Structure 1
Amino acid sequence: MHKKILLVLLGWLQIMHIKAQNPVIRHIFTADPAPLVYHNTVYLYAGRDTATVDAKTYEMPSWHVFSSRNMVDWKDHGPVLKPTDFSWASRAANAAHCIERNGKFYWYISVMHKNTEVSKGGVAIGVAVSDNPTGPFKDAIGKALITNEMTTDMKHSWDDLDPAAFIDDDGQAYLFWGNGSCKWARLKENMIELDGPVHTFKPDHFTEAPWVYKRNDLYYLLYAANFPESIDYATATDIKGPWKYRGRVQDPVTNSTTTHPGVIDFKGKSYFFYHDGSMPTGSSYRRSIKVDYLRYNSDGTIRKIVETAKGVRKVNQ
């Protein structure tokens, strides 16, 4: 009995410890977290919000990289990538995701494309590459990997948002992305070319921001659902689907109509990253990244993250 009480107290202390650090990035407004674990360090890739307090639209001029060895102290490595680093891009550092393969780091970004003979504009996906997780990064191919014209199932110009890369156990890499519908394609081993057609599907309540990972032979697809956005998820026994809707991970967040999931395992624990607008002067256009523990039931389903009366988020016990 005493042992059980001690374990419960330790669990609550761990939760209190991480809550004391939320938001994890406080000196600037950040959004769209994309965490990566590499060599016992967590690297957090994020967009920066610079909209004014009264703004009613997004201002996202750059992407930052932060790093931590303990999930408490975070180092800002600065605005290491900007839309202007891509000659074909015009503006808007939308959600992005970095992944490591064979000692190189591939950073998939979504950004507005210039009106050119290649594309008439709209959101496109590019890829930058570096030998180091904190850069310097450069455009890997000198053009967009995916343009708005390549996907026609949705008619709006921003349906190619929010890329998320995943490498399966057999070494095959995939890219997931989308707004309005979820899209995916194989990547060649070089990580800078598609290897086959673009596939589309619509998970229940899907809005945008897919995040894919694998745990105990089960594939998980977390995504922003509805609007204002919650985080819902689906699972599959095959990366190609079919995907089974499993419910909600997180209700709509504080003071922001959007949110964005990111999941990692680090030092024996699972973590769930997201953003909200809870910092002073925060809003849907001045967001902040937070993190919570992510826990699973014995059948592999995710325990919902709920909000207490005091507004502190915790994982159900």
Structure 2
Amino acid sequence: MKSTIATALFFSLATASCLAQNPLHFGNNIRTADPSGHVWPDGKMYLYTSHDEECQEDFHMKDWYAFSSSNLVDWKTHGPILSIKDLTWADNFAWAPDAAYKNGKYYLIFPAGTGFKDRVNPEKSTKWMGLGVAVSDSPTGPFKDAIGKPLWTTPYANDPSVLIDDDGKVYLYFHGMNADYQVAEMADDLLSIKGGLQKMDMGGYEPKMEGPWVFKRNGIYYFTMPENNRVLTYYTSKSPKGPWKYQGEIMNEEHGNNHHSIVEYQGQWILFYHRWLETPGCHKKQRHVAAEYVHFNEDGTIKPIKRTTTGVGDFPERIKNLKK
């Protein structure tokens, strides 16, 4: 009897351990944030992230990483795939990247900058940021700065989101200083923009935001973002340039900023985001990449998403059951 109980307890604990995958287990102590999720021709899920320095006081960040998985549970680390030291035009602020695949090449669209942000006396700040483009023959790099300069210098810009539409056109969304809710169409080689920046119609509601992520599902375009840099909210449209209709909250606030991506993988829609969690050895909460399932209503609106400790830990079993 004791043996039976012990065996049952073992399997119960093993199952709980298997499902407890939030934050995601990257197999090391690297601190990551701002996950950009993509599925490439090899069928794997790739996450492109920023890299927080251990116990960092501020967002002085120096490189970018990638992680790959076939089951969203077991992850392989790649990187750094690009570093600030590889750039001639920036020396800091290796913040939230995005990635794209086109013409047989992999592109990393990344923000970087110079100067100093004075949080005590903001009027003394000299910080500037712009968007660069790096290219590789491999989804895991190494990536090489392809143009040796930012795509533009004014306005200040970071947090890129790239959408390649069904017709092959490439759209670049971003967070900009006094320039939010704008879009640029990129050239076919993704090394420049054409036609300048275009202000989009957001239906009259334009709160403070950062980290836009735009995706398409069933003919509907979704413009998602951390509203007031904290709460994930979204708009929908029938066009990649709007006009957009505000749809409300997806995920509520937790301690600090959030930054995310939403992507379909093997028939399941997944939200990748970061959490601020107590971290051994650090005197303040640190950022860790996590994931949750995304569910849609029949009209295409997104159901509210809660943070969980299990995340997508049951993904391998879920997919196995779908294939039966």
Partner amino acid, structure 2, of 1:100 = Y
Mapped pair 1:184 → 2:183: yes
Equivalent residue of 2:157, what SS?
A: coil
Partner amino acid, structure 1, of 2:51 = R
Give, in whole Å, the separation in 1 of the partners of 2:192 and 2:106.
Answer: 15
Partner amino acid, structure 1, of 2:22 = N
Give, in whole Å, the separation in 1 of the partners of 2:207 and 2:77.
Answer: 35
CA deviation vs aligned residue, 1:150-184 (integer Å, no higher than 9, x gap): x2xxxxxxx51101111111111010001462221
Mapped pair 1:93 → 2:94: yes
CA deviation vs aligned residue, 1:197-216 (integer Å, no higher than 9, x gap): 10234654341000011101
Equivalent residue of 2:46, what SS?
A: strand
Unaligned 5+ residue runs, structure 2?
Answer: 1-15, 117-125, 313-324
State whether residues 31 and 54 of structure 2, in contact with CA within 8 Å, keep that contact through their aligned partners in structure 1: no
TM score, norm. by length of structure 1? 0.82
State whether residues 163 and 177 of structure 1, in contact with CA within 8 Å, keep that contact through their aligned partners in structure 2: yes
Give, in whole Å, the separation in 1 of the partners of 2:101 and 2:278.
Answer: 31
Partner amino acid, structure 2, of 1:91 = N
State whether residues 277 and 285 of structure 2, in contact with CA within 8 Å, keep that contact through their aligned partners in structure 1: no
Mapped pair 1:43 → 2:49: no
Equivalent residue of 1:178, what SS?
A: strand
Partner amino acid, structure 1, of 2:231 = S
Deviation for aligned residue 1:280: 2.0
State whether residues 263 and 269 of structure 2, in contact with CA within 8 Å, keep that contact through their aligned partners in structure 1: yes
State whether residues 22 and 310 of structure 2, in contact with CA within 8 Å, keep that contact through their aligned partners in structure 1: no
User: What's the RMSD between the two structures over aligned residues?
Assistant: 2.5
The aligned counterpart of 1:163 is 160
Runs ≥4 residues deviating over 6 A: 282-285, 311-314
17 and 100 in structure 1: CA distance in 2 versus 1, 3 angstrom threshold: farther
The aligned counterpart of 1:66 is 67
Give, in whole Å, the separation in 2 of the partners of 1:283 and 1:241.
Answer: 44
162 and 214 in structure 1: CA distance in 2 versus 1, 3 angstrom threshold: same
CA deviation vs aligned residue, 1:1-39 (integer Å, no higher than 9, x gap): xxxxxxxxxxxxxxx788511111362110110111012
The structure with the largest alpha-carbon Rg is 2
Deviation for aligned residue 1:307: 4.6
The aligned counterpart of 1:138 is 144
Equivalent residue of 1:45, what SS?
A: strand
Equivalent residue of 2:79, what SS?
A: strand
The aligned counterpart of 1:81 is 82
Q: Matched residue pairs, number?
A: 280
Partner amino acid, structure 2, of 1:292 = E
State whether residues 279 and 286 of structure 2, in contact with CA within 8 Å, keep that contact through their aligned partners in structure 1: no
State whether residues 163 and 178 of structure 1, in contact with CA within 8 Å, keep that contact through their aligned partners in structure 2: yes
Give, in whole Å, the separation in 1 of the partners of 2:50 and 2:211.
Answer: 13
Give, in whole Å, the separation in 2 of the partners of 1:193 and 1:107.
Answer: 13
State whether residues 33 and 274 of structure 1, in contact with CA within 8 Å, keep that contact through their aligned partners in structure 2: yes
TM score, norm. by length of structure 2? 0.80
Give, in whole Å, the separation in 2 of the partners of 1:242 and 1:178.
Answer: 18
Give, in whole Å, the separation in 1 of the partners of 2:39 and 2:90.
Answer: 29
State whether residues 182 and 206 of structure 1, in contact with CA within 8 Å, keep that contact through their aligned partners in structure 2: no
Mapped pair 1:210 → 2:209: no
Partner amino acid, structure 2, of 1:216 = N
Give, in whole Å, the separation in 2 of the partners of 1:161 and 1:284.
Answer: 25
Mapped pair 1:278 → 2:277: yes
State whether residues 170 and 185 of structure 2, in contact with CA within 8 Å, keep that contact through their aligned partners in structure 1: yes
Unaligned 5+ residue runs, structure 1?
Answer: 1-15, 152-158
Equivalent residue of 2:85, what SS?
A: helix
Give, in whole Å, the separation in 2 of the partners of 1:246 and 1:128.
Answer: 34
Deviation for aligned residue 1:226: 1.3
Give, in whole Å, the separation in 2 of the partners of 1:125 and 1:285.
Answer: 28
The aligned counterpart of 1:31 is 33
Deviation for aligned residue 1:240: 1.3
CA deviation vs aligned residue, 1:183-206 (integer Å, no higher than 9, x gap): 210001111110111023465434
State whether residues 204 and 245 of structure 1, in contact with CA within 8 Å, keep that contact through their aligned partners in structure 2: no
Partner amino acid, structure 2, of 1:238 = S
Mapped pair 1:305 → 2:305: yes
State whether residues 305 and 313 of structure 1, in contact with CA within 8 Å, keep that contact through their aligned partners in structure 2: no
Give, in whole Å, the separation in 2 of the partners of 1:307 and 1:222.
Answer: 17
